Copies of this chain bind each other. A is one copy, B any other.
Amino acid sequence: MATVSIEPLTKQAFAPFGEVIETDGVTPLSINQGYASRFNDLASIDVAAEGGQTNISWFVASLRPVPIAIRLMERHPLGSQLFMPLGGADWLVVVCSDPRNAATYRAFRATGQQGVNYARNCWHHPLLVLKDASPFLVVDRKGKGDNLEEYWLDEPMQLDLKPDRHEA
């Protein structure tokens, strides 16, 4: 079974797939009479196709069996999709440029202080978490049109996750 190794999530490595939502490397503005810092404009929310609007949701994701099998990839042809962890736990991001080509798959370990915004049409795996019942704020699209495309792999791939890093 083909395996995908896990890299640290960085803006540079993730750039072909969308944006990393983090404060590292961003110079904040001082606002609120000096009582707050604003790290401004961290993502491109791209939901206006076919009259779509911004949708704010809350996801709670469960642990999957280990080793984690990659069986299904999905993409959203009408909009970007942003995930921001609310619970502070690390999580995993799996993307690819061509779901039929195993060599194009990339897996990233995100910290609990990193969100991602999948670009419109970016193939990605559904939420993968390292702690059960992990909460996320999600910013994606609502509106008419079919915004989900799925690809089921002929042969599952497997994430090369060290078992001792998997927290119950």
Contact = CB atoms under 8 A, between A and B. Distances in A.
- What is the size category of the interface that chain A forms with chain B? 35 or more
A120 to B, nearest CB: 14
A40 B62 contact: no
A32 interface: yes
Contacts of A62: 34-36
A106 to B, nearest CB: 20
A61 B87 contact: no
A43 to B, nearest CB: 4
Interface of A: 21-23, 26, 28, 31-43, 45, 47, 53-62, 64, 72, 82, 84-88, 113, 115, 117, 126-127, 135, 137-139, 142
A58 B26 CA distance: 10
Contacts of A84: 84, 86, 137
Contact of A35 (B39, B40, B47, B61): B61
Nearest to A56: B43
20 contacts: A21-B58, A28-B60, A31-B126, A32-B127, A35-B61, A35-B62, A35-B126, A36-B127, A37-B59, A39-B60, A42-B56, A42-B57, A45-B55, A47-B54, A54-B54, A56-B82, A86-B113, A87-B88, A113-B135, A139-B139
Given A28-B60, A39-B59, 11 more contacts: A21-B58, A32-B61, A35-B126, A38-B57, A42-B57, A43-B56, A45-B53, A45-B55, A47-B54, A84-B86, A115-B137
